Amino acid sequence: MSLLRDPKRLVALLIAGVAGLIVLIDFVGGGPAFNRVAMVLVEWAAIITALALLLGIFSVIGSHLGRVRRKQADWPYSLVLLLGVLTMIVAGIFFPLPGRTGWMLPATLAEEPIRVVFRTVYEPLASSLLALLAFFSLSAALRALQRGNREALVVVLVAALVLIAQLPPVATLPAVGPTVQWLNDFVVLAGARGLLIGAAIGAFVAGVRLLLGFDTPYLDR
């Protein structure tokens, strides 16, 4: 009855549910009619996503411009973010990907500026963050170990064994290489597949709840 009293919510639920069912039926094989409609819906979704991303970029730029103008706390970081956004926008507009003529340079030189930015800035930062993540994880496991957590003990022992096995003097030993390979092929791979299966089941349940209207994040409720 609450849906009947709220026509706007009812219309949004019907649109989202019907669109999701059409795409799902086309995914499992619903015939040419469903395929045509599903293709149109997917294209609409791509356009809406692009517009939402554009609005998000404008929102982030406006927020950080305000911080820089007011000289709020940590405003230099906002300035760095704005410079990074401006650099990538300029590189993408004036030097587009190969196959398209750029505004200033031919397409043969178009991709190089973006590649330089990614190679010299993004990739080192990503590698540094991933390297720090290992130390943060180990630190958290050690803190949990101090509280008497048995699962944390297993994590610390396995992490220590893997790190020791990667050392050059230890990795050259006859039994170390096959043992590490066996652990990767059977223990690690089994755990990774279990996580993937659990994530897939969770995504399926979340999709069903969205289709049935139990969860309505697009209504901000």
Instruction: List pLDDT tens digits, range 107-145.
Output: 445 566 677 777 888 888 888 888 888 788 778 777 877
- Assigned domain for 141 exists: no
Q: Which of 56, 71, 94 is the last residue of a domain?
A: 94
Q: What is the pLDDT of residue 51?
A: 92
Residue 102: is its pLDDT beyond 60? Answer: no
Q: Environment class of residue 26 by beta-carbon count within 10 Å: exposed (0-12), middle (13-18) or buried (19+)?
A: buried
Question: Which of the four pLDDT bands, split at 50, 70 and 90, describes residue 13?
Answer: confident
Residue 154: is its pLDDT beyond 70? Answer: yes
Question: How many domains, in total, are found in the chain?
Answer: 2
Q: What is the pLDDT of residue 146?
A: 78
CA dist 38 and 25 (Å) reads 9
Q: Environment class of residue 141 by beta-carbon count within 10 Å: exposed (0-12), middle (13-18) or buried (19+)?
A: buried
- Assigned domain for 86 exists: yes
Instruction: Pick the more confident residue, 107 or 195.
Output: 195
- Assigned domain for 47 exists: yes
- Kindly provide the b/e burial profile for residues 36-52, where b requires at least 16 CB atoms within 10 angstroms of the residue's own CB: ebbeebeeeeeeeeeee
Distance separating the N- and C-terminal Cα atoms of the chain: 17
Residue 105: is its pLDDT beyond 90? Answer: no
Residue 6: is its pLDDT beyond 70? Answer: no
Q: Which of 78, 94, 110 is the last residue of a domain?
A: 94
Question: Which of the four pLDDT bands, split at 50, 70 and 90, describes residue 21?
Answer: confident
Query: What's the CA angle centered on 125, arms 131 and 168, to 5 degrees?
Result: 35
Instruction: Pick the more confident residue, 102 or 20.
Output: 20
Q: What is the pLDDT of residue 220?
A: 58
Residue 21, token pair as written in the block: 């069912």
Least confident of 15-24, 42-51, 69-78, 90-99: 90-99
Rg (CA), the chain: 26
- Assigned domain for 111 exists: no
Residue 27: is its pLDDT beyond 60? Answer: yes
Which residue in 49, 120, 114, 48 sits closest to 87, CA to CA? 114
Q: What is the pLDDT of residue 1?
A: 47
Residue 69, token pair as written in the block: 């103008």
Q: Which of 94, 115, 131 is the last residue of a domain?
A: 94
Q: Environment class of residue 110 by beta-carbon count within 10 Å: exposed (0-12), middle (13-18) or buried (19+)?
A: buried
Count the alpha carbons within 13 Å of 174 in the hemisphere toward its beta carbon. Answer: 0
- Assigned domain for 198 exists: yes
The boundaries of the domain holding residue 183 are: 177-221
- Assigned domain for 166 exists: no
